[in-house]
Chains A and B, each alone.
Chain A
Amino acid sequence: MTVKGALPGGALGVETVGMTMRFGGFTALDGVSIAVAPGSFHALLGENGAGKSTLVKCMMGFYRATSGQLMVGGREVEVPDPRAAHAHGLGMVYQHFTLVPSLTAAENLVISRDDAPRVIDWRAERVALAEFMGRMPFAVPLDQPVRALSAGEKQKLEILKQLYLGRRFLILDEPTSVLTPDEADEVLGHVKALCAAGQITVLMITHKFREVTAYADTVSVLRRGALVGTGAVAELTHDAMARMMMGDARLADPAPRTGTPGAPVLSVNGVRASDRSGLKDIAIDGLTVRAGEIVGIAGISGNGQMELMEVLTGQRPLAAGEVLVKGAPYDATREEARIRCVRYLPEEPLHNACAARMSVTENIAFRTFDLNGKGTRFWLSGREMRARAADLVAAFKVKTASLDSPMASLSGGNVQRAVLARELTGDVDLLVISNPCFGLDFTAVAEIRARIMAARNAGAAVLLMSEDLDEIIELADRVLVMSEGRIAYDRPAAEADRAEIGHHMGGHA
């Protein structure tokens, strides 16, 4: 496959040659050569830390590669900074939106231009924008503030912005992670059509095989900084792609599910509470989690999951209703949580469950520092804290330089292991979890899911909120969907249908 020049429609061909990036003694990218033909839709697969972000940051000029070249349109170019990359027609769409929420779509487009004048002639700009939108295969409302747009519309606007800025090679960094499946299909469908028309070339970072198969023409797989496979998507199965991503690493098989659900442990009845903005409310009419059962709540973030977590941890006052644990009202005080064996695993554990500057030992002691054998204690015991931390670090295989190291010096997977070590020891009757595997690599994910399943098999009631639908489907006995602060869907896992779940996540069902 040769990559030369550009298509008449404008799409650019881009090629990296022997791209290498070293940070000190660590090689993040090792001689990666990827060729993306003009007008093609190329997917870039890899685990966390495989070097995908490093590669695109080198291409966009955020990093200067240690060695290697970038060819754009068949010619070698230098990209010392993002501005230079933009000048060559390279643009990037990020995982999270980079639009100004309070400005309209039109304003966002115009101010993003490098040559935006000091005084903007809006009448002329509007005419130009209308002309531009007329050439585009899809549109977004131009005169509404961006905050009023749906996630899908925002992502479409991000792509329109790149086209408006004259970019002809787009790097999309997990562009669908904040979209519902339906929105993702729509956005990627449009992107593919633009590629097919020869207007743009796309390099998309993703971890969703389904999107690769449905939209990409070619795929490259990175592992530990090296290119381990590349080829036409039509010739590769999901299994083959997974094997390339994983290498020889053997994943633990999904943990077996044993036992049947018992008595209800958590009941949320008629709960009303205001959401973050204070403008909407969340309403959970009846949510029951039984012993030995994982109830999974799927949903796009921002639909009330965070507020539900706060209700269950006692941080959000209830306007009405009640939360019962083991049949008695529950206010989530430390004492109640201890006596009824309730544990929490909030999302982003370093930010929500740890003190980053305190040591690993101290962080592991958060749950038990005020307990001795029978009741509570007043005097701290440093020796007991340290002994307990040493045991748990060994038992949960937390990799840390030292027990005295600050929690922030651990990698994401090891922070989560340390938190699991703290929360999953002793008797656990109710476990409330939010996005436990976000941002972790395959091995950590498999291990953490196995621990959650083990807690369920041992008789704990588990409430699992996750934005990762695959995680819910793998782990849950019952699948719920949360949308607009309400439970919109409730099925046993065996009857759950992915498409139907997707529709409910989007709120149109």
Chain B
Amino acid sequence: MATVDQIGTSGRRSLLSPEGWLAALARRSEAVVIPVGALLAGLLVFGLFLLTQGKSPAEFYALVYKAGFGTSFSWQNTLSRTAPLLFAALCVALPARLGLVVIGGEGAIVLGGVACGALAGAVSGMPGALGIPLMALAGGLAGAVWIGAVGALRHFRGVNETIASLLMAYIAIALMNHLVEGPLRDPASLNKPSTAPLADQLRIGDIPGWDVHWGLALGIVACLLSWVLIERTTWGFAARIAGGNVRAAQVQGLPVGRLIVGFTALGGAFAGLAGVFEVAAVHGAANASLATGYGYTGILVAFLARHNPLAIIPVAVLLAGFEASSGLIQRRMDLPDATVLVLQGFVFVAILLSETLYGRLKIFAPERWGERA
């Protein structure tokens, strides 16, 4: 190793010194440049895929831009799809900071929505200011228990959290189907079994002046709070230690089990809130529309954002725009609406491949700038 002792050898910091601002910039830019590069690579390869289908990639991306971000109407469409992605991505990102790969946020979304729909009848007599927080609490709690159980299984019984969360998502969806088709079914819902429609005062409305419901604002607040929790509090630092090396955390006497259960439960609570907003702001009742894959797209959002809650916000907007464009692409380009899923798949593979680049590119490691190639 050609590590040079730079501390105390010279008072002046040169531009290329590992202590200088350029070095700090280089270190920080790794987490931006690599995912953006992977995203572009994924889009490029998807373009090649389109060429094999005899379609023009340029037309495709132009349509995505138009349908996702081109007009104020498309922005509204995109932003209202952003809210559940923010929450779903937090359900991946928070456990990820502890080194856990939780991919079953879909289950927490579904159960959060069902809990909200189930409670709606009981609180239908209450004013919205009381009823909505109660429904949100119920939905968040359902999600917290569901994903918190994944964390508990992991810590206390050594069950792989990735598999457990995925399988539990299937259980959650089956549970939802059972409940909305059975005990919780509104007899008036004929074609599509649903819980009873929410009373009007329990519906969550739009942000004034926008055609986008309050879930977007709350999702952004949740991201900001999560960032503060991870980066600025001792709990978050303890979680990062445990995520960085669980043995080191245990030797330091950190409560690893409590951190794991706490962070997974918090992530689950956020995913549960996504379900609450889907029921109270979008569908008006809990039904099978809850399981539309926001939980899975949220995985992609979190990975693209490197599990950084602040980065989740723009990434969620971007991917919501992709999803918003699928209808127009279907109509204009004669492509199945699953095409956007193919695109997401390409991007996801590119992101996973790019994980191997971290720590290997010299340009991001000022310690190694002195070495010759």
Q: A26-B2, A334-B252, A376-B234 are in contact. Are A352 and B247 (CB under 8 A)?
A: yes
Binds A, one of B51-59, B62-70, B184-192, B237-245: B237-245
Which of B5, B19, B247, B371: most chain A CB closer than 10 A?
A: B247
Contacts of A334 in B (CB 8 A): 252-255
Report the nearest A residue to B243, measured CB to CB.
A355
**The one of B3, B237, B244, B368 that contacts A357, using a Cβ cutoff of 8 Å:** B244
Q: A409 to B367, Cβ gap below 8 A?
A: yes
Contact indicator per residue, chain A 395-418, by CB within 8 Å of chain B (1) or not (0): 000011111111011110010000
Quick check: B250 and A411 within 8 Å, CB to CB? Answer: no
Q: Does B215 contact A (CB under 8 A)?
A: no
Give the residues in chain A near B248, CB-CB below 8 Å.
Answer: 352-355, 366
Contact B234 A353 (CB under 8 A): no
Interface 9-residue window, one of A141-149, A377-385, A492-500 = A377-385
Interface residue SS majority, chain A: loop
Contacts of B367 in A (CB 8 A): 400-402, 405, 409
Interface pair B19/A313, CB less than 8 Å apart: no
B241 touches A358 (CB 8 A): yes
A337 within 8 A of B: yes
- Asked whether, in the complex, the Cβ of B232 is within 8 Å of the Cβ of A380, the reply is yes
0/1 interface trace, chain A 146-172, chain B, CB 8 Å (1 if under): 000000000000000000000000000
Known contacts A334-B252, A400-B7; A24/B371 CB under 8 A: yes
B368 CB contacts on chain A under 8 angstroms = 409
Within 8 A of A (CB), among B314-373: 359, 365-368, 371-373
Given contacts A24-B373, A378-B234, A379-B232, contact A355 B253 (CB under 8 A): no
Q: Does B23 contact A (CB under 8 A)?
A: yes
B359/A357 in contact, CB under 8 A:
yes
Interface string of B1-15 (1 = CB under 8 A from A): 111111110000000
Instruction: State whether B251 touches A346 (Cβ < 8 A).
Output: yes
- By the criterion CB–CB under 8 Å, are A409 and B365 in contact? yes
Asked if B359 and A408 sit within 8 Å, CB to CB, the answer is yes
Q: Are B244 and A351 interface neighbours, CB within 8 A?
A: no
Q: Which of A448-498 contact B (CB under 8 A)?
A: none
Q: With a CB–CB cut-off of 8 A, which chain A residues contact B253?
A: 313-314, 332-338
State whether the Cβ of B236 lies closer than 8 Å to any Cβ in chain A.
Answer: yes
The answer for the CA separation of A103 and B233 in the assembled complex, in Å, is 52
Q: Does A369 lie within 8 Å of B234, measured CB to CB?
A: yes
Known A-B contacts A404-B27, A405-B18; the reply to A25 vs B2 at CB < 8 A is: yes
Taking CB atoms, residues of chain A closer than 8 Å to B241 are 355, 358, 366
**Residues of chain B lying within 8 A (CB to CB) of residue A366:** 241, 248, 252
A377 to B234, Cβ gap below 8 A?
yes
Contact mask for chain A residues 314-350; partner B; CB cutoff 8 A; 1 contact, 0 none: 1100000000000000001111111000001010000
Q: How far is the CA of A505 from the CA of B54 in the complex (A)?
A: 73
Least Cβ–Cβ distance between A1 and chain B, in angstroms:
36
Nearest-neighbour CB distance to chain A for B153, whole angstroms, equals: 19
Contact A367 B252, CB 8 Å, known A24-B371, A24-B373, A404-B27: yes
Residue of A with least CB distance to B367: A401
Tell me the count of chain A residues lying within 8 A, CB to CB, of chain B: 49
Q: Does A394 contact B (CB under 8 A)?
A: yes
Complex Cα gap A346–B254 (Å): 16
Q: Does A196 contact B (CB under 8 A)?
A: no
In the complex, chain A residues whose CB is within 8 Å of the CB of B45: none
A233 at the interface (CB under 8 A from B): no
User: Assuming A314-B253, A402-B19, A409-B3, is B359 touching A369 (CB within 8 A)?
Assistant: no
Q: Does A393 contact B (CB under 8 A)?
A: yes
- CB of B221 within 8 Å of the partner chain: no
Judged by a CB distance under 8 angstroms, whether B224 is at the interface is no
Q: Does B40 have its Cβ within 8 Å of any Cβ on chain A?
A: no
Residues of chain B within 8 A (CB-CB) of A370 are: 234, 237-238
Nearest chain A residue, comparing its CB with the CB of B28 = A404
Bound complex: CA A96 to CA B229 (Å): 44
* A-B contacts, CB under 8 A, total: 123
A140 at interface by CB-CB < 8 Å? no
Is B24 interfacial (CB-CB < 8 Å)? yes
* Smallest Cβ-Cβ distance to A358: which chain B residue: B244
Is A17 interfacial (CB-CB < 8 Å)? no
Q: Are B252 and A24 in contact (CB under 8 A)?
A: no
> CA A159 – CA B17 in complex, angstroms?
50
Which of the residues A353, A393, A410 comes within 8 Å of B251, measured between beta carbons? A353
User: For residues 206 through 260 of chain B, which have their beta carbon under 8 Å from a beta carbon of chain A?
Assistant: 231-238, 240-241, 243-245, 247-248, 250-255
Complex Cα–Cα for A411 and B367 (A): 12
* Separation of A376 and B359 alpha carbons in the complex (Å): 34
Contacting residues, chain A, for B251 (C-beta < 8 A): 313, 315, 344, 346, 352-353
Q: Known contacts being A334-B254, A409-B367, is A356 close to B244, with CB within 8 Å?
A: yes
Least CB separation from B231: chain A residue: A380
- Which residue of A is nearest B5, CB measured? A399
Q: Are A380 and B237 in contact (CB under 8 A)?
A: yes
Query: Taking the nearest CB of chain B, how far is it from the CB of A367, in angstroms?
Result: 6
Distance in angstroms between the alpha carbons of A183 and B320 in the assembled complex: 66
Task: Identify which of A25, A356, A376, A394 contacts B7 (C-beta below 8 A).
Answer: A394
A96: shortest Cβ distance to chain B, in Å?
21
- The distance in angstroms between the C-alpha atoms of A353 and B243, with both chains bound, is 13
CA gap between A369 and B244 in the complex, in Å: 15
Q: In the complex, A171 Cα to B245 Cα: how many Å?
A: 36
Separation of A356 and B251 alpha carbons in the complex (Å): 15
Among A24, A399, A403, which residue has its beta carbon within 8 angstroms of that of B372? A24
Of all chain B residues, the one with the shortest Cβ separation from A404 is: B27
- For A377, the chain B residues whose CB sits under 8 A away are 234
Is B234 touching A313 in the complex (CB atoms < 8 A)? no
CB atoms of B244 and A404 under 8 A apart? no
Q: Mark A361-380, 1 if CB is under 8 A from B, else 0.
A: 01001110110000011111
Q: Please, which residues of chain B bring their CB within 8 A of the CB of A380?
A: 231-234, 236-237
Cross-chain contact B18 with A379 (CB below 8 angstroms): no
> 7 A-B residue contacts at CB 8 Å?
A351-B245, A353-B248, A370-B238, A377-B234, A380-B231, A380-B234, A400-B3
Interchain residue pairs A-B with the least CB separation, the first 10: A355-B244, A334-B253, A401-B367, A402-B18, A401-B18, A370-B234, A355-B245, A399-B5, A409-B367, A25-B372
Given contacts A356-B244, A366-B248, A404-B19, 9 further A-B contacts (CB under 8 A): A334-B255, A358-B241, A366-B241, A394-B7, A401-B3, A404-B24, A404-B27, A408-B359, A409-B365
